[in-house]
Structure 1
Amino acid sequence: MRKLSVLSTTAVLLGLLAGCTDDPADAGPTPTKPPSTASGTPSATVTDSPEPSAPAAGELPRGGRTIFPEHQLVGFVGLPGSPALGPLDKNIDAKAAQLEKLATSYAGGRKPLPVMELIVVIANGHAGRDGQYRSRLSDEKIQPYLDTARKHKMLLLLDVQPGRADSLSEIKRLEKWLKEPDVGLSFDPEWAVGPGQVPGRVFGRTTGAELTSIAAYLSGLVKANNLPEKVFVFHQLSSRILSNEKAFKQQPGVVTIKSVDGIGNRADKEATWRKLTPTMAPGVHAGFKLFYEEDTRHGPLMTPAQVMALKPRPEFVVYE
């Protein structure tokens, strides 16, 4: 889920596309990340303890039914066996403990609610057997993450990078997971490309209307299953990725968050923040992303104090 620099050249992107899987049934690396050096895609490390149970009926992992303003969300991103895609590549029980500690540093008077953001639909640089330029993580590889999230009373977000596939159709395939009270959705429209386009060579696009349709689907699940508020995150790096943003309409039971995913030093990231947060539709909450590798190539990683000094307050902070 590495974000493309606006100044990235086509030649560099084409080189990075090498090594992506053609198999839509199995997850491979995203087109802008180097492939894992491990053979295949290993399963996440899990404990031998009994499968943790879901939260109490109609409640979030740490109680209650509403996300904001009670909670501060802080997350890690990852994909099994792909360390370049974030901290949640392996040893996820230990990573959850690290995330818990990090989340407390962002609380700021709120109740910390850690989030594990698992990439489950991965945009690829090759068409695959069905020509959709995406791979999918199997249920068997998703389950250990939900088990670990429940053990630590965290939220699990399922991240979708659709490639050429229809975004809402890919999301609906995850319904068995999204009907759970502690599972939300993350959508990466940068990787939602049109016919004739290849992920990683161009920016994908979405619209305020499409985001509304996704939120409306989630709202239906919340109502039908008596769920607590459902988190819906959409990531944005550049203004060109999202058009007619003001057309987005809030949906009952869905907490929508825009994650501003700018890359670079502190000044560059804050400039992207100032550009993208004023365009948010009414009711949308602000999120902020930090990159352990990309950001630190340009200077020190922003501290929690620096992040929380941003205006508006980032209510979801996620690390890749």
Structure 2
Amino acid sequence: MAAFDSDSRATSRTVLPADVTTVAAGATGAELALQASRALFSHAPAVVLVGDQDQASMANAGAAAVELGVPVLLTTAEDATAAALREELARLAPETLIPVGDAAAGWAKEHPVEGAEVQAYQAGKLPRLGAAAPLDKLLVLALDRPEAAAATATAKASRAQVLVIKDPDPRADDEVIKTIAARQSTHVLGLGSAFGPADRLRNRIDTAATGILLPGGRQVVFPNRRMIALYGHPGDAGLGSLGEQPVDKAVTRARKVAAQYSALVKEPVVPAFEIITTVASSDPGPDGDYSNESTVEHLRPWVDAAGRAGIYVLLDLQPGRTDFLTQAKRYAELLKQPHVGLALDPEWRLAPHQIHMVQIGSVSGNEINKTAAWLAELTRANRLPQKILMLHQFRTDMITGRSAIDTSADELSVVIHADGFGSAGEKMATWDNVRAGAPAQVWWGWKNFYDEDKPTFSPKQTFAVEPSPVFVSYQ
């Protein structure tokens, strides 16, 4: 079959992926280019070729593919990939191959494709093709990396909405979130294994589409921010710095304390409230659980004021003889707010025979996992930004089976908060002890005590701790 001439109006046939969310797996440039072509085109009257190592020709190849509305594929000396390329060319059934650069020209000469002629690339002298149907309901995510260049050009050639991003998690960038929220896309294609699995990408896209940001930006908690918190219970100065003033003055104080850290790091420093939501009690109370549970109505003014002020909130549980999940569910209404996370304090989680201040409580990794799974599902179902799940600890026996804690939930950022007090040496000993043997994928928090520490660490000393804590609370 002869190559088409300048008057030809042959047209590519684009296809919308069958699944609402698709991840085109692949790591190398050649693999990604093949996957993009398979996902987006059922036929192409021409195909642009470029060598997989020919970076100098990549820009011209991509521009030619976009102008023509056809795929760009990478030639390679690797046998398996070369065979896959020949198979894809047979499927696309092009009339013309347009190699860009010497490597692609050599490959095209050595691997003739039945029914297709080779037309040397000449800038400004490309064939004229008809416009394929635009895939305007498809959002394609591509990473801003050299190996994704050909696949990205193919996506643009399909006339889909293409978003080139630096992080495979679209929740990690304010501008990406804003763009996704503004676009009306029914389908999503992620180019590269880093975007997978597909159900995780779907949940991330659904969250990004809300446009809701955490205090300090983004929808992923850490890295790229620090938090400095006042800890305590509203109206009770004896339980920590938070309760030493009414809510409006607590907002001002939290901002001032956080501001002391701002000059020490490049990332935003966000003020926070850690509110003791259920308070350990020496009295069993009507329900016999040795825990006084605050009402949602009592906490709401603090949570709402924090939200208006750009302050993150952690609801801290001291459950006594009940379990963390039972108490957490009491506050689902507050936890549905995007700036509210959850803290579990095992010191105050009692066994049936234990009494506060007589024994130090503890919790199993299994109970933590059940609570985490519930919180992750609540976050996912309500398309909320990632939430902090904080675990307080100052002795290793406070969390049994800690190595089995599941930190993989994409909806949660797990922080282990070391609560040691005393001299600098005592605090560092607690820090080192708690950190030993910790589960993977956790962040670290640090507590400064105004009265019990001797002396209280300065902001500079606090951030100098290794690893530098992402969350610091003041009691």
Aligned letter for 1:275?
N
Counterpart for residue 51 of structure 1: none
After TM superposition, list the pairs within 5 Å mapping 1:220-231 onto structure 2: 220-231=377-388
Check if 1:80 corresponds to 2:80.
no
> Are the counterparts in 2 of residues 256 and 284 from structure 1 also a CA contact under 8 Å?
yes
Matching residue within 205, 211, 221 for 2:362 = 205
Could you tell me how far 1:265 is from its partner in structure 2?
1.1
Aligned letter for 2:403?
K
Check if 1:63 corresponds to 2:217.
yes
Counterparts of 1:132 and 1:94 in 2: how far apart (Å)? Answer: 33
> Are the counterparts in 1 of residues 231 and 242 from structure 2 also a CA contact under 8 Å?
yes
Structure 1 stretches of at least 4 aligned residues deviating more than 6 Å after TM superposition: none
Gapped regions of structure 2 (runs ≥ 5): 1-209
Could you tell me how far 1:231 is from its partner in structure 2?
0.8
Identity over aligned pairs, percent: 34
Matching residue within 402, 419, 429 for 1:271 = 429
Check if 1:141 corresponds to 2:315.
no
Check if 1:186 corresponds to 2:375.
no
Counterparts of 1:269 and 1:238 in 2: how far apart (Å)? Answer: 12
Check if 1:253 corresponds to 2:411.
yes
TM-score, structure 2 normalization: 0.54
Counterpart for residue 308 of structure 1: 463
Check if 1:243 corresponds to 2:400.
yes
Counterpart for residue 282 of structure 1: 440
Aligned letter for 2:316?
D
Could you tell me how far 1:189 is from its partner in structure 2?
0.7
> Are the counterparts in 2 of residues 248 and 281 from structure 1 also a CA contact under 8 Å?
yes
Q: With CA pairs under 8 Å and 6+ residues apart, which has the higher RCO, 1 or 2?
A: 1
Aligned letter for 1:68?
F
For 2:306, what is the secondary structure of its paired residue? helix
Structure with a larger share of its residues in helix: 2
After TM superposition, list the pairs within 5 Å mapping 1:36-115 onto structure 2: 57-89=211-243, 90-107=245-262, 108-115=265-272
> Are the counterparts in 2 of residues 59 and 227 from structure 1 also a CA contact under 8 Å?
no
Matching residue within 274, 277, 280 for 1:120 = 277
> Are the counterparts in 2 of residues 71 and 111 from structure 1 also a CA contact under 8 Å?
yes
Counterparts of 1:58 and 1:229 in 2: how far apart (Å)? Answer: 11
Counterpart for residue 162 of structure 1: 319
> Are the counterparts in 2 of residues 160 and 170 from structure 1 also a CA contact under 8 Å?
yes
Counterparts of 1:130 and 1:213 in 2: how far apart (Å)? Answer: 22
For 1:144, what is the secondary structure of its paired residue? helix
Counterparts of 1:151 and 1:59 in 2: how far apart (Å)? Answer: 13
> Are the counterparts in 1 of residues 216 and 269 from structure 2 also a CA contact under 8 Å?
no
Counterparts of 2:421 and 2:215 in 1: how far apart (Å)? Answer: 31
TM-score, structure 1 normalization: 0.79
Aligned letter for 2:366?
A
Counterparts of 1:213 and 1:92 in 2: how far apart (Å)? Answer: 32
Would you say how many aligned residue pairs link Structure 1 and Structure 2?
Answer: 262
**RMSD over equivalenced CA pairs, Å:** 1.4
